[in-house]
Homo-oligomer: A and B are copies of this chain.
Amino acid sequence: MADVVTFGELMLRLTTPGRQRIAQAQHLEMGFGGAEANVAVMIAQLGGSAGFVTRLPANALADRALEELRGLRVDVAGVQRGGDRIGVYYLEQGASQRPGRIIYDRGASAFAEVDPGAFEWGRLLEGARWLHWSGITPALSPEAAELTRHACATARAAGLRVSFDMNYRSKLWGAEEAGRVLRPLMTGVDLCVCGVEEARSVLGVDGESEAEVAEGLQAAYGFQQVAMTRRRAESADRCKWGGVLFESAQHWESAWYDVEIVDRVGAGDGFTGALIYGLLSGKGAGEALEFAVAAGALKHTIVGDYNRVGREEVEALVGGVSGGRVQR
């Protein structure tokens, strides 16, 4: 397959248009997304080689989801077809003081009901250099958790680098259960993307500062790198955005961006995908962080889960080209 393999659930995304509420909309914008697919798309959009593994039903909705990923150069040869339904999430974009709202409808999805033994990870990871997964997957079902264990074990055995994005969702499981399932899986994770609050509640690592927490995570779980995004939400339309990366005793803090938000879903995944891409393509840690934060900043301006920006665009932003000019 590809250099970087991600796996997880892909959902149909249905969004109300033009700041309408679900109660008002006459139609829903159609798209697809999911934390791990978003990472794969980000890498492919930047010019990297990415594959995505999931399970989807054999229907036209899933066909289309795969058509889009294939078009975006994500290798979907490892996707299994079966099960009854594709998970769905309904997104109502917020505005000003009104928060965005998501209704998840992912129960009994084809992926949640996966047969953990049916994926041949050895083959799926053949030739790959990096495995990425997120904390959403083991939260979906015991089968999905088991699948995660298989994937991680295979990756470790094959010497792949492994990254993990916590993505803790309280609607899916409690912090305690999350910790019980996730902690054993942390062994062998090289890069952990995680917030301070999640570190505490799920992984049991507390601290006075981001740095202390990152240090604690490295000490407790052996992560080589810990990355955190920084978001200062001002309203549903605007935030400050940045990130920080810890590696051994060193750390790098990115520039801050004042972001006017078009669609913030997937910004963290854009960050993570660009960080993986940056590190894999030989950027130094600080450079990779700036690149990742810029990619995440740009994601806020893109409609949909997928971060449709190219490497040149990200690098231009890192290099100081502002959005204030039409390029002509």
Q: Which residues of A contact B (CB under 8 A)?
A: 14, 17-30, 59-61, 63-64, 67-73, 84-85, 88, 90-92, 94-105, 107-108, 169, 171, 231, 233-239, 257-262, 264-265, 294, 297-298, 300-304, 308-309, 313, 317, 321-328
Contact = CB atoms under 8 A, between A and B. Distances in A.
A229 to B, nearest CB: 13
How many copies the complex holds: the figure is 6
A18 B303 contact: yes
A95 B262 contact: yes
A107 B104 contact: no
Contacts of A104: 328
Contact of A28 (B14, B24, B69): B14
A324 B235 contact: yes
Contact of A67 (B23, B260, B303): B23
* Minimum-distance CB pairs A-B, first 4: A233-B324, A71-B71, A95-B301, A236-B323
B60 A259 contact: no
Contacts of A98: 298, 301-302, 309, 313, 317, 323
A95 B262 CA distance: 8
Given A20-B303, A22-B61, 11 more contacts: A19-B303, A60-B90, A61-B90, A67-B71, A84-B105, A84-B107, A97-B257, A98-B313, A99-B326, A235-B260, A235-B323
Nearest to A15: B27
A99 to B, nearest CB: 5
B96 A260 contact: yes
Contacts of A302: 21, 98
A62 to B, nearest CB: 10
